[in-house]
Each structure stands twice: as structure tokens, then as C-alpha cells.
């Protein structure tokens, strides 16, 4: 029931993102095409479709390249390869590609559109920081993302949110330079929608990401039957990421990683792609207690 409930929440969030996208299309169409909101919506739906196509087929390669990840075989990284293979065998999943990211930031991520085209990547930092039990917990979390096709879910969410932001920026820049029908009495309302829609889309995207992280924590822990392996790893990763934040890549891809690799604090936590670490650990500890009973 937990997985079904989480998937229903994600479906609802995508519905909200689509509604926001239609609203921003209405804004652009009404203002720039003199009341023809249908044209605006169709134009940006086509753009979103193209972006989704590119993201679906090429996002994995783009992500691996941006972090200079190197695909390795068993001879090159026997410890990492062995652990991933054990988890894949236990979960009855295809063996994914294994990659190493040349960064001392302790982290890991998975990418790929489905279990047959997946890559699990670990940084050099996490391989040094964690023992085998903790590393198994982290990689099981990533394999849970692969199993649930979360990379595809997050790609679609990011694409829709990005399309909304693009549409809003187009409207705002156009209005600043005198474009559109300024005599329209709804201009103020349209302007408010254009400003607030990207913020709302970002918050929905973050909610999608957080819900998938909780689910991957749970499913990864159940794969190996040791919730505390991941809980102990998360404690180390929280401290390790604060001490050595990522110095490559783009913060927009933070949702891929098991822990946000980019430095942030204060109000930034409101817009974090990951759930509060204390809550993630608490849930894993509760799972461990339940398994012992």
C-alpha cells in the first residue's frame, strides 16, 4: 500500500504540474496572441514534448558526462561491482552499468530510463567514507530508484517545471519590452500568474523528489533487510557533504543524488530536493525496530 500511495501522490503532482503548464500557456497566449490562449498552450506543449523526448533517450548520457563519470568493469572496481551485483541478484533485477565519479564529495546516484538501461554511479569520496555494510545500504537505495523508474519520473517532472519557467520568462521579457496586448484589462492578473507559476511548479517538483526519496529509502532497506545500514550511511553522508560539497555539475541535478551534494542552508532547505535527513533516519530506525519485533 505504501508504494501505491506514493505513486498516486506522484500522479496527482504531475496533474498539478500540467494544470500550471496550461495556466502559463493561457497567460502567454492571451497576452501575446490577443486572446488566443489555445495557441499559447499548444506551442509550449510541443516544446515540452520535444524536451521530454530528449530527456527520455539521452538524459543518462548527459548526466554521466556532466559529472565526468567513468563506466567501470569488475576488474577496475571489484568492491563496487560486487556489491551492486549482489543487490541486483537479491532483487531479481538486471545488472546495471557501474560508474565512478571523480569527486571526493561522498555521494551516489542512479540514472537511466528503465532497469534495462540503468547506471549506478558512486563517487570516489563515498567509496572511501563508507564500510561495505553502509555502502550496500546506499546502493540498494539507488537500485530501488532504478526498480521504480524514478529517474524517468524525475526527468518528466523537471522537464515540465523547466517548460513552465521558460514560458513565464518569455512572457515577462516580452512584457518588459513592450510586447503583447497591454490594453488587456487582465494584464495584472496575467502578470501575477506568470510570476507565481514557476514558483509553484518548483515546489511541486520538489515534493515529487522528496516522496520518491522516502520510497527508495524504504524499498532499498527492504531489499537487503538491514534498514540501519542505510541509516548509518546517511549520518556519515550528511556530515561528509557539508564538509566537501560537489564542485562540478549543476544544482538542478541535485535530486539525482542520495544526499544533496551542493552546499545550502537557511531558507535554502525550504527548496531542498531531499527530505529532512533526521526524518529519513527516524523512519529507517522505526523500520529496523519493526523488523526486530
Interval 89-115: pLDDT, tens: 999 999 999 999 999 999 999 988 889
258 and 166 in a common domain: no
pLDDT value, residue 1: 46
User: Do 146 and 253 share a domain, yes or no?
Assistant: yes
Instruction: State whether 157 and 273 are in the same domain.
Output: no
In 3D space, the residue among 146, 274, 287, 125 whose CA is nearest the CA of residue 221 turns out to be: 287
Give me the domain span that covers residue 160.
2-61+153-185
91 and 179 both lie in a single domain: no
In a shared domain, residues 22 and 144: no
Same-domain check for residues 145 and 12: no
Active-site annotation holder among 76, 116, 124, 142: 142
Note if 142 is an active site residue: yes
Same domain, 221 and 244: yes
Inform me whether the pLDDT recorded for 268 exceeds 50: no
Looking at the fold, whether 83 and 212 belong to one and the same domain comes out as yes
Q: Looking at the 3D structure of the chain, how many domains does it have?
A: 2
CATH number at 268 reads 3.30.2010.10
Q: How far apart are CA 105 and CA 99, in angstroms?
A: 15
On whether both 78 and 218 belong to a single domain, the answer is yes
190 in any annotated domain: no
Same domain, 166 and 285: no
Among 129, 139, 130, smallest CA distance to 104 is for 129
How many Å apart are CA 241 and CA 175, to the nearest integer?
A: 42
Q: Are residues 76 and 158 in the same domain?
A: no
Query: Same domain, yes or no, for 158 and 243?
Result: no
For residues 61-90, average pLDDT: 94
**Residue range 30-39: mean pLDDT, rounded:** 63
Structure confidence by residue, pLDDT tens digits, 35-71: 566 776 677 677 767 776 777 777 788 889 989 999 9
| Residue 194 in domain | no
> Contact, 151 vs 145, CB < 8 A?
yes
What pLDDT was estimated at residue 266? 45
Amino acid at each position: 500500500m505504501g508504494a501505491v500511495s506514493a505513486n498516486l501522490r506522484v500522479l496527482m503532482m504531475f496533474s498539478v504540474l500540467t494544470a500550471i503548464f496550461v495556466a502559463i500557456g493561457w497567460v502567454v497566449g492571451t497576452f501575446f496572441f490577443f486572446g488566443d490562449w489555445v495557441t499559447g498552450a499548444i506551442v509550449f506543449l510541443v516544446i515540452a514534448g520535444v524536451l521530454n523526448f530528449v530527456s527520455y533517450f539521452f538524459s543518462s548520457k548527459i548526466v554521466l558526462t556532466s559529472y565526468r563519470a567513468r563506466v567501470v568493469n569488475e576488474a577496475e572496481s571489484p568492491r563496487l561491482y560486487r556489491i551492486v551485483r549482489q543487490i541486483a541478484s537479491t532483487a531479481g533485477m538486471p545488472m546495471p552499468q557501474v560508474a565512478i565519479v571523480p569527486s571526493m564529495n561522498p555521494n551516489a546516484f542512479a540514472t537511466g530510463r528503465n532497469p534495462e538501461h540503468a547506471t549506478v554511479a558512486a563517487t570516489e569520496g563515498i567509496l572511501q567514507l563508507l564500510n561495505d555494510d553502509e555502502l550496500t545500504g546506499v546502493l540498494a537505495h539507488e537500485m530501488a530508484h532504478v526498480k521504480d523508474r524514478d529517474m524517468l519520473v524525475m526527468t518528466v517532472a523537471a522537464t515540465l517545471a523547466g517548460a513552465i519557467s521558460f514560458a513565464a520568462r518569455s512572457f515577462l521579457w516580452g512584457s518588459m519590452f513592450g510586447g503583447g496586448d497591454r490594453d488587456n484589462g487582465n494584464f495584472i492578473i496575467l502578470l501575477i500568474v506568470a510570476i507565481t507559476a514557476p514558483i509553484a511548479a518548483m515546489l511541486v517538483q520538489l515534493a515529487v523528489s522528496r516522496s520518491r526519496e522516502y520510497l527508495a529509502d524504504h524499498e532499498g532497506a527492504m531489499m537487503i533487510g538491514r534498514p540501519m545500514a542505510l541509516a548509518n550511511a546517511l549520518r556519515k553522508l550528511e556530515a561528509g557533504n557539508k564538509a566537501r560539497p560537489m564542485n562540478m555539475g549543476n544544482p538542478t541535478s541535485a535530486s539525482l543524488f542520495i544526499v544533496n551534494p551542493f552546499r545550502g542552508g537557511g531558507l535554502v532547505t525550504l527548496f531542498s530536493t531531499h527530505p529532512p535527513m533526521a526524518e529519513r533516519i527516524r523512519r529507517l530506525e522505526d523500520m529496523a525496530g519493526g523488523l526486530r519485533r
